[in-house]
């Protein structure tokens, strides 16, 4: 059915894309690799350093802390966004003008520039002019994201949930729509409860989109930069400083080319590794275990 | 136990149907008896799936009633009707094992496990699924999946009717007859009403004791496979059943003869009278010379000979196809194409030959419906 | 034109799809490729069309080697089993597209499309889009596109398999008529022996990528050159019963003995597979030498006016093809009659060693 | 004999929709479930809209009202903040810049991704799997990693502070994404269509433009939506590769915070204006998006 035809001339179709991506990926990556093993002191003064930068980066306490923060952040938002997204997808209307309206509304946060997302939440949570900050204060709840690290974390997570849950919801929604009606009919005839329908029909059929959702959310949350930068500036202290911000500070702010290059490569590899492990694990789980005993 | 009665049933997908064309099912009455094996046969779009969904409760009829044992169930959802349904594409719960799939309806009714297990094992045994019970349902072949979805209906003691919606569509041709056998066996073993929807005459006649042939939202004949073949009640049945279908001739009564165009047809006296009566009745009723009188004859009941015999008509043979077990002869009579079936080993015929219509199998149709001419 | 496939092999990812096929198709012939799913029918057609080059071997058209000539430069048409049309074009534009691309004048295209559409009974649908049509109409559109250009080679890959059987019957009849007037090579792939018989012409029986037999359809049917060919080309499949032939008698299952006829006596004594057509088994004895067998019914498949009765004997299953409608219940005991004078015999390598005499036959005058 | 063998009756395709009327008991049960889910959805949407509403609310107030007492809606409705943005070229040029590089990126990406995705969906060729995998890894590259090299690269080729620089930089993640989405859609088109076209005599470019692209329209729509989304929202690279001439709106917004305090009204109005193009884009693809979001991979 889906047997593709061997044809090496297909390279011609891929070539323009390859040139562009090479320009925007390979050349910069080579630069990074180049820097990561050198110490650049001036235009003509470079020294080969080997793995020195890598070692110092891996042993850097601040970076280790940022890494832990990053991992915690990604895990927390995944734990919230995936179930919440599924839940929203389940209650979204399936057809009619309502479906279109909900769809347009729900995708809205996805299309707001990331720094504006930060601004929106910065405004929203300020005690003096923001509805949420003001509301919490009126309710007598102590809340200040510039002083209290806990408040800052809660706010950043809330912001990310607000920002990205729609993506999970939309993925699940389109996954749900592709389930043939006969499955629901059969379930009714089998007298399945709503929970059973979810557990045995909807959830299994959502596996593929959920894999995509988890991967996308993991990747993007791991690279998060603009939103917390605008909202908290990484503070208070470094409580909400994530890896991208550390890297940007190091590379652009301090012009530490060698260390930041080494850091970049480690950063990139971590994302690749986690994604790959997650993906292969899921794919292996999906394979049926051989029938035991053979009955 | 269920006897399913359809009373004055009609269904339209339009909110305000304007004419007959807006109805997927036109006004009909029908009874499916307890324990029968029935088929609903018709081309796609004839309304058979709609009817099946009305019986299962997935669809509510816009007019008329559905009765289960005399009880009106129009509004009852499928889960409260004690029916099971097998769909065209196998519906199984991918992540469960075959055992859990079969146990699913029982567990949904909170059946205690000690009663679930023997029941599942019993049904698995009948369906020859025992060796697969531990397997994930996802990796089964299409026919195994279809058996599992059938099994989910059979495990329930309260199921009184199983509805099949073209269940063999996705089954490998070589395996189809085995599943047909299984279906027959199950029907003979369980006292369950079974209704089988299909567009294939082979599926319908193999499975069912009685077949309802549907055409344009109506059941045009309800009868045994033999009746459908030998006495089609409607020209559509004649055409649709049998390969090839029935030959039809528009006839009129003229000069004390039954005329097919310019060709007088040798028919029985009773038939002649019936045609004569129909002609005059039609002429009076319609006030014009409107006639819709047809004679039908199956290709199986036309005998072909090279020389004239008693009551034969001259024909022009256009082609003979050898189909292995029989030959199909195409001929022209009064500029119309006819088909005749010759048994294997029939002597060869030339271009000019003679056809003899077996009088006992010539049927009279007025306005497309069969009229008994009264054979001796 | 003539088409000659010379020793074609086609291997995909190390798996042979076609092995050693040598086939010459004559100008103006209608050819059926008969074989089960995955027998290599589709692959062979794709090679003929030039959609893929064969791994080994040559494709010769009119004496010219076209093995590596692209499909665009060969004058072929193809109709698939899925209903393949251009969804963004109307039925008219779909049918007209080959002529438009060949830059025919507008008036000529109009005329041709009109003719073709009328022939296929879709003249009233020309302004519609394919997805608005029923399956049968969509396939007619696809056929229209294949027929409009005077292709040298027209390929049909199970074109009717996704249609209701009644439509299949009608379209099949029309197809036969359409080709009688054409002077091109037509190749038609099917899994159904009855379709091959109904279409006539020549038949090539394929099995697991190999060509088993090629010849006039009737001849291939009556005189299969081997067991596979016979099994492939009969519906229901020919019954095969292993048995032993001695100088005087045949033994089935070490318990059923019957004397063999004179022709079979000429064979070397030994083990053979005996084949008997489903339609030759009967419920009433036809001749004195018929062998009565006690069997149990599996299922009776009824199709309109015929019954396919599946039964099993203690050791082997049998299928009967009965005319008329007969109903039996599952496991009903029954006596069937086995015509000992109508046996095919195949040696253990699967070659045909004996063909029963034909009883009469209807020929076109 | 002409019987209506295939009746493409309008009703047939609806025959799976459940009946609307039900017995009282079930009606109550399903109605309750229905209203409960509608309520929950409404609640979610309301909470989701709230921060945006607040932004709009502020954009329609003067700074003194914003900083004054807490008001849930503008007491003195004013459009001055918007007028200020639309009359100041250094402000509205930010929008123009952003839209320009987003449009360029969408155009470049779709032009190179369409043929590449076609190649991946139809052919096998040496190194195809590795190439595809490598492409996907680019999706996982943090833009922060590429900041410095990009800056140097575009500076050295003289593209710094041009729209095309940003457009090209965004290709890093947009091209792989587009190829990935398009490949999914293309694979659902039977390859027999392609073959039929070649048999009919179509040349590849003509077939691609006339037949194939119309067939995957909704896929292209969804792809463009995603391209817009990721290019429009990205700031880190856009900021780094521009200085004045091609500066994105996100950067210009930082001007609202000056030594004398933050110009909240203008910031809010500018923020609202960045949301509008997104709404327009979703509106155009709303009918395809539900199907397309699964990226042809369900």
C362 occurs within a structural domain: no
Within an 8 Å CB–CB cutoff, is residue D1 touching chain C? Answer: no
CB contact under 8 A, D200 and C88: no
Claim to verify: residue C83 and residue C222 sit in the same structural domain: yes
Task: Tell me the shortest Cα–Cα distance from A288 to chain B, in angstroms.
Answer: 7
* Contact (Cβ atoms closer than 8 angstroms) between residue A220 and residue A164: yes
- Quick: pLDDT tens for B114-167: 999 999 999 999 888 999 999 988 888 888 999 999 899 889 888 888 999 988
Band the pLDDT of C156: cuts 50, 70, 90.
Answer: very high
A286: buried, middle or exposed (CB in 10 Å: 19+, 13-18, 0-12)?
A: middle
A89: containing domain: 61-286
Q: Which of D40, D144, D271 sits opposite A244 (nearest CB)?
A: D144
Claim to verify: residue C36 and residue C180 sit in the same structural domain: yes
Mutation site for C-interface testing, chosen from A4, A5, A7, A8 by largest number of C Cβ within 10 Å: A5
* Order of all β-strands in the sheet with C352-354: C256-259, C249-252, C239-245, C270-276, C344-346, C352-354
Strand pairing partners for C352?
C346
Claim to verify: residue C273 and residue C222 sit in the same structural domain: no
User: The domain B4-240 belongs to what CATH superfamily?
Assistant: P-loop containing nucleotide triphosphate hydrolases (3.40.50.300)
* Contact (Cβ atoms closer than 8 angstroms) between residue C145 and residue C113: no
Give residue C128's pLDDT. 93
- Identify the CATH number of the domain in which residue C311 sits: 2.40.50.140
Domain count, chain A: 1
DSSP letter string over B107-163? HHTT--HHHHHHHHHHHHHHTT-GGGTTSBGGGS-HHHHHHHHHHHHHT-TT--EEE
Domain count, chain C: 2
Mutation site for D-interface testing, chosen from B40, B43, B45 by largest number of D Cβ within 10 Å: B45
A41 occurs within a structural domain: no
A7 occurs within a structural domain: no
pLDDT, one tens digit for every residue, chain D (298 residues): 456 555 444 333 333 333 333 445 556 767 788 888 889 999 999 999 999 999 998 888 888 877 777 778 888 888 888 888 888 888 888 889 999 999 999 999 999 999 999 999 998 888 888 888 888 888 888 888 888 888 888 888 888 889 999 999 999 889 999 998 899 889 888 889 999 999 998 999 999 999 999 999 888 988 999 999 899 998 888 888 888 888 888 888 887 777 777 888 888 898 899 999 988 888 888 877 777 676 555 4
Domain layout of chain B by residue ranges: 4-240, 247-371
- Fold identical between B4-240 and B247-371? no
Cβ contacts of B75 on chain D, cutoff 8 Å? 21-23, 26
CB contact under 8 A, D41 and A208: no
Strand pairing partners for B215?
B218
C360 occurs within a structural domain: no
All structural domains of chain D:
87-292 (1.10.3720.10)
Cβ contacts of A3 on chain C, cutoff 8 Å? 12
C298: buried, middle or exposed (CB in 10 Å: 19+, 13-18, 0-12)?
A: buried
Claim to verify: residue C219 and residue C336 sit in the same structural domain: no
Q: What are the two backbone dihedrals, phi and then psi, of residue B268, each rounded to the nearest 5 degrees?
A: -70, 160
Task: Tell me the shortest Cα–Cα distance from A185 to chain B, in angstroms.
Answer: 7
Claim to verify: residue C129 and residue C246 sit in the same structural domain: no
Token digits of residue D122: 């139809």
Q: Is C49 helix (H, G, I), strand (E, B) or coil?
A: helix
Within an 8 Å CB–CB cutoff, is residue B131 touching chain A? Answer: yes
C260 occurs within a structural domain: yes
* Contact (Cβ atoms closer than 8 angstroms) between residue D275 and residue D164: no
How large is the ipTM?
0.83
B248, closest residue in chain D (CA to CA)? D1
Claim to verify: residue C26 and residue C103 sit in the same structural domain: yes
- Identify the CATH number of the domain in which residue C107 sits: 3.40.50.300
C363 occurs within a structural domain: no
pLDDT, one tens digit for every residue, chain A (295 residues): 346 777 888 888 889 998 888 888 888 888 888 878 877 766 666 777 777 777 877 787 888 888 899 999 999 999 999 999 999 999 998 877 888 888 888 989 998 998 889 889 988 888 888 888 888 888 888 888 788 888 889 999 999 999 999 999 998 998 898 888 889 989 988 888 889 999 999 999 898 889 889 988 998 898 888 888 888 887 787 888 888 888 888 777 777 777 888 888 888 888 888 888 888 887 777 664 444 333 3
CB contact under 8 A, A188 and B89: no
Q: Which of D41, D123, D235 sits opposite A226 (nearest CB)?
A: D235
**Arithmetic mean of pLDDT over chain C:** 88
Give residue D4's pLDDT. 54
* Contact (Cβ atoms closer than 8 angstroms) between residue B242 and residue B298: yes
Give residue D17's pLDDT. 34
Tell me the CATH number for domain B247-371. Answer: 2.40.50.140
Claim to verify: residue C73 and residue C110 sit in the same structural domain: yes
Burial D235-244 (b: 16+ CB within 10 A, else e): bbbbbbbbee
Claim to verify: residue C223 and residue C260 sit in the same structural domain: no
C364 occurs within a structural domain: no
Q: How many CB pairs under 8 A join B and D?
A: 62
Question: Distance between CA A120 and CA A135 in Å, rounded?
Answer: 16
- Identify the CATH number of the domain in which residue A160 sits: 1.10.3720.10
C13 occurs within a structural domain: yes
Residue ranges in chain B whose pLDDT is less than 70:
1, 281-290, 373-376
- The C-alpha torsion from D263 through D269 and D270 to D275, rounded to 10°, is 150
Last residue of a domain, one of C232, C252, C282: C232
Last residue of a domain, one of C202, C217, C232: C232
Claim to verify: residue C217 and residue C84 sit in the same structural domain: yes
pLDDT surpasses 60 at C360: no
Claim to verify: residue C67 and residue C168 sit in the same structural domain: yes
Task: Tell me the shortest Cα–Cα distance from B43 to chain C, in angstroms.
Answer: 7
- Quick: pLDDT tens for B223-239: 999 999 989 999 999 99
Last residue of a domain, one of C182, C201, C232: C232
Claim to verify: residue C214 and residue C264 sit in the same structural domain: no
Within an 8 Å CB–CB cutoff, is residue B264 touching chain A? Answer: no
Residue A293, H or E segment: none
C365 occurs within a structural domain: no
Of B229, B272, B237, the C-alpha closest to B252 is: B272
Cβ contacts of C329 on chain B, cutoff 8 Å? 184, 188
Token digits of residue D78: 């004013």
CB contact under 8 A, A200 and B96: yes
D9, closest residue in chain C (CA to CA)? C134
C80 occurs within a structural domain: yes
Give residue B138's pLDDT. 87
C347: containing domain: 239-354
Cβ contacts of B43 on chain D, cutoff 8 Å? 3-7
A12 occurs within a structural domain: no
């Amino acid at each position: 059915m889906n047997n593709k035809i061997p044809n090496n001339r297909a390279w011609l179709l891929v070539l323009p894309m390859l040139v562009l991506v090479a320009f925007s990926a390979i050349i910069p990556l080579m630069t990074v690799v180049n820097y990561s093993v050198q110490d650049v002191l001036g235009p003509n003064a470079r020294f080969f350093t080997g793995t020195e930068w890598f070692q110092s980066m891996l042993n850097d306490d601040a970076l280790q802390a940022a890494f832990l923060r990053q991992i915690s952040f990604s895990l927390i938002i995944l734990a919230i966004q995936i179930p919440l997204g599924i839940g929203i997808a389940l209650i979204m209307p399936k057809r009619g003008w309502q479906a279109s309206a909900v769809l347009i509304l729900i995708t809205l946060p996805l299309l707001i520039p990331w720094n504006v997302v930060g601004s929106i939440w910065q405004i929203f949570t300020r005690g003096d002019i923001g509805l949420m900050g003001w509301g919490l204060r009126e309710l007598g709840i102590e809340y200040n994201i510039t002083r209290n690290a806990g408040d800052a974390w809660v706010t950043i997570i809330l912001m990310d949930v607000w920002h990205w849950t729609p993506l999970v919801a939309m993925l699940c929604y389109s996954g749900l729509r592709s389930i043939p009606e006969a499955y629901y009919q059969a379930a009714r005839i089998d007298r399945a409860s709503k929970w059973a329908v979810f557990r045995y029909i909807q959830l299994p059929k959502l596996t593929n989109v959920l894999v995509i959702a988890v991967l996308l959310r993991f990747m993007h949350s791991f690279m998060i930069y603009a939103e917390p930068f605008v909202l908290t500036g990484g503070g208070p202290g470094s409580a909400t400083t994530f890896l991208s911000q550390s890297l940007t500070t190091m590379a652009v702010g301090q012009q530490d080319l060698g260390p930041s290059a080494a850091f970049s490569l480690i950063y990139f590899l971590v994302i690749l590794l986690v994604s790959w492990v997650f993906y292969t694990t899921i794919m292996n789980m999906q394979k049926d275990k051989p029938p035991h005993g053979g009955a | 136990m269920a006897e399913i009665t359809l009373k004055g049933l009609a269904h339209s997908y339009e909110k305000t149907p304007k004419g007959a064309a807006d109805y997927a099912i036109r006004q009909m009455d029908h009874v499916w008896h307890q324990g029968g094996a029935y088929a609903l046969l018709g081309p796609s779009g004839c309304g058979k799936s709609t009817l099946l969904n009305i019986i299962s409760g997935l669809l509510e009829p816009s007019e008329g009633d559905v009765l289960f044992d005399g009880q009106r169930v129009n509004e009852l959802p499928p889960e409260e009707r004690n029916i099971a349904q097998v769909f065209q594409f196998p519906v199984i719960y991918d992540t469960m094992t075959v055992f859990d799939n079969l146990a699913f309806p029982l567990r949904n009714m909170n059946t205690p496990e000690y009663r679930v297990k023997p029941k599942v094992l019993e049904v698995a045994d009948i369906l020859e699924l025992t060796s697969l019970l531990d397997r994930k349902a996802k990796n089964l072949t299409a026919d195994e999946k279809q058996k599992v979805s059938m099994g989910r209906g059979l495990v329930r003691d309260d199921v009184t009717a199983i509805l099949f919606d073209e269940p063999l569509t996705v089954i490998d041709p070589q395996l189809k007859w085995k599943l047909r056998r299984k279906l027959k066996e199950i029907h003979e073993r369980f006292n369950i009403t079974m209704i089988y929807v299909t567009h294939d005459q082979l599926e319908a006649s193999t499975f069912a004791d009685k077949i309802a042939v549907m055409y344009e939202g109506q059941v045009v004949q309800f009868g045994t496979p033999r009746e459908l073949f030998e006495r089609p009640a409607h020209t559509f049945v004649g055409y649709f059943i049998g390969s090839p279908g029935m030959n039809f001739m528009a006839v009129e009564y003229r000069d004390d003869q039954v005329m097919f165009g310019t060709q007088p047809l040798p028919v029985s006296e009773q038939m002649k009278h019936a045609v004569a009566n129909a002609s005059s009745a039609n002429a009076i009723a319609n006030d014009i010379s409107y006639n819709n009188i047809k004679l039908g004859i199956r290709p199986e009941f036309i005998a072909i000979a090279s020389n004239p015999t008693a009551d034969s008509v001259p024909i022009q043979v256009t082609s003979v196809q050898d189909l292995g077990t029989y030959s199909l002869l195409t001929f022209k009579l009064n500029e119309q194409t006819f088909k005749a079936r010759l048994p294997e080993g029939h002597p060869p015929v030339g271009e000019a030959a003679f056809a003899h219509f077996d009088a006992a199998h010539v049927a009279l149709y007025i306005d497309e419906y069969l009229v008994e001419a009264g054979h001796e | 034109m003539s088409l000659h496939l010379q020793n074609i092999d086609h291997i995909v990812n190390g798996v042979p799809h076609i092995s050693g096929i040598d086939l010459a198709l004559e100008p103006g012939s209608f050819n059926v490729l008969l074989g089960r799913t995955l027998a290599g029918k589709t692959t062979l057609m794709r090679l003929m069309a030039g959609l893929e080059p064969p791994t080994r071997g040559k494709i010769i058209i009119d004496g010219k080697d076209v093995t590596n000539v692209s499909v665009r430069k060969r004058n072929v048409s193809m109709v698939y089993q899925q209903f393949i049309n251009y969804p963004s074009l109307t039925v008219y534009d779909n049918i007209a597209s080959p002529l438009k691309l060949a830059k025919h004048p507008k008036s000529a295209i109009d005329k041709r499309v009109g003719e073709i559409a009328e022939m296929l009974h879709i003249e009233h649908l020309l302004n519609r889009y394919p997805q608005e049509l029923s399956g049968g109409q969509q396939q007619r559109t696809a056929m229209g596109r294949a027929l409009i250009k005077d292709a040298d080679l027209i390929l049909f890959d199970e074109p009717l398999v996704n249609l209701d059987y009644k439509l299949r019957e009608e379209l099949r009849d029309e197809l036969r008529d359409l080709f009688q007037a054409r002077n091109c090579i037509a190749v038609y792939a099917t899994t159904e022996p009855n379709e091959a018989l109904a279409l006539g012409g020549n038949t090539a029986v394929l099995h697991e990528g190999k060509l088993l037999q090629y010849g006039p359809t009737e001849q291939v049917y009556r005189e299969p050159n081997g067991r596979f060919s016979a099994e492939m080309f009969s519906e229901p499949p020919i019954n095969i019963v292993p048995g032993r032939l001695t100088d005087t008698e045949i033994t089935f299952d070490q318990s059923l003995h019957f004397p063999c006829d004179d022709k079979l006596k000429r064979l070397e004594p030994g083990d053979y597979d005996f084949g008997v057509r489903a339609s030759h088994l009967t419920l009433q004895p036809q001749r004195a030498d018929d062998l009565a067998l006690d069997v149990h019914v599996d299922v009776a498949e009824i199709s309109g006016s015929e019954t396919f009765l599946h039964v099993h004997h203690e050791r082997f299953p049998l299928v009967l093809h009965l005319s008329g409608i007969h109903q039996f219940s599952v496991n009903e005991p029954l006596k069937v009659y086995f015509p000992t004078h109508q046996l095919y015999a195949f040696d253990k390598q699967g070659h045909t060693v004996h063909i029963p005499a034909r009883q009469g036959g209807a020929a076109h005058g | 004999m002409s019987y209506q063998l295939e009746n493409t009756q309008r009703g047939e395709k609806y025959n799976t929709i459940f009946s609307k009327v039900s017995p009282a008991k079930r009606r109550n049960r399903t109605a309750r479930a229905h209203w409960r889910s509608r309520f929950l959805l409404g609640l979610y949407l309301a909470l989701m809209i709230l921060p945006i509403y607040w932004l709009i609310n502020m954009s329609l107030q003067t700074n003194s009202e914003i900083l004054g007492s807490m008001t849930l809606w503008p007491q003195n409705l004013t459009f001055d903040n918007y007028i200020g943005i639309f009359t100041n070229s250094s402000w509205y040029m930010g929008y123009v810049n952003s839209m320009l590089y987003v449009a360029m990126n969408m155009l470049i990406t779709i032009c190179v991704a369409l043929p590449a995705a076609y190649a991946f969906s139809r052919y096998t060729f040496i190194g195809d799997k590795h190439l595809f995998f490598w492409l996907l890894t680019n999706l996982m590259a943090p833009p922060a990693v590429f900041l410095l090299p990009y800056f140097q690269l575009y500076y050295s080729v003289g593209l710094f502070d041009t729209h095309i620089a940003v457009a090209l930089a965004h290709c890093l993640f947009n091209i792989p994404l587009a190829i990935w989405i398009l490949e999914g859609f293309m694979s659902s088109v039977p390859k027999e269509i392609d073959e039929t076209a070649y048999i009919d005599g179509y040349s590849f470019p003509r077939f691609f433009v006339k037949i194939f692209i119309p067939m995957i329209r909704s896929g292209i729509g969804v792809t463009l939506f995603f391209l817009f989304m990721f290019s429009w929202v990205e700031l880190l690279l856009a900021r780094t590769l521009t200085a004045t001439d091609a500066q994105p709106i996100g950067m210009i917004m930082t001007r609202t915070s000056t030594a004398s305090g933050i110009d909240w009204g203008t910031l809010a109005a500018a923020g609202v204006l960045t949301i509008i193009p997104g709404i327009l884009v979703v509106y155009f693809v709303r009918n395809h998006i539900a199907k397309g979001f699964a990226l042809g991979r369900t």
